[in-house]
Amino acid sequence: MGSDNRRARRSALALAGAVAGAVLAAGCGIRSTSVPVDAGAAPSQVPCTMSAENITTQALKGIPVQIYMVCSSQLVTVDRTVQAGKNGSDRVPVAQALLDELRRKPPTAERQAGYSTAVPENLRVGARTGDRQGTLRLSEQPEDLRSEALAQIVCTYAESDTLAPEGTVVLGGPGNYAPRGYLCTSEMKARPKTVPTPVTGTGG
């Protein structure tokens, strides 16, 4: 009977220890269960899409355009409405209107969807007498811009028949360097961090 009492006490102590361990574990924030815990799937990649209710309609009448923003390390188009002269055919006003949209911080809904811009807020565009027809001059040398910013500008301008009737965007800077032509390629859209390569034979 003595051995039975000792076994009973050991069982009681073991049970008490298990209960105490469970209490301590709960107090430390540890889930005391032997069942595997499903913490859910890992956060998914930014979808770069917005629901219909998040797409805002611009109140001002203007010219509907598409510009390229950066999202999930790629270039993605978004819709805008711009004011660019009476008919939208004046090259410099069109270029500046598109650049203004690229420089502007994306609306909240777009930022939440992962959209951003690399184009500097103080960047300007114009033209210079003596340049070949169609040349645009940025206030910074194109090759000095971040590659994503230059890719955004090139691909946005390439969508405009006014700015790139033959598909080539000819850009120069404020200095005396010859302007250079750029094409918006599928590789540029997929990898805008890659420095855009000028097209040969397009200098001023």
Tens-digit pLDDT profile for residues 163-203: 998 899 999 999 889 999 999 999 999 999 998 889 865 65
Q: Quick one: DSSP state of residue 107?
A: P
What mean pLDDT, rounded, does the chain reach?
78
Mean per-residue pLDDT for 2-17? 50
pLDDT of residue 62: 75
Q: Cα–Cα distance between 202 and 204 in angstroms, integer?
A: 7
pLDDT of residue 82: 87
Kind of pairing between the strands at 136-138 and 168-172: parallel
Task: Quick: pLDDT tens for 134-163.
Answer: 999 999 999 999 999 999 999 999 999 999
The token pair at 132 is 């070949």
Q: Which amino acid is at 174?
A: P
Distance set, CA 156 to CA 10, 35, 57, 159 (Å) = 79, 54, 20, 6
- Using pLDDT thresholds of 50, 70 and 90, give the confidence band for residue 33: very low
Task: Quick: pLDDT tens for 12-28.
Answer: 444 444 444 443 344 43
Of the two residues 141 and 61, the one the predictor is more confident about is: 141
Q: Cα–Cα distance between 76 and 73 in angstroms, integer?
A: 9
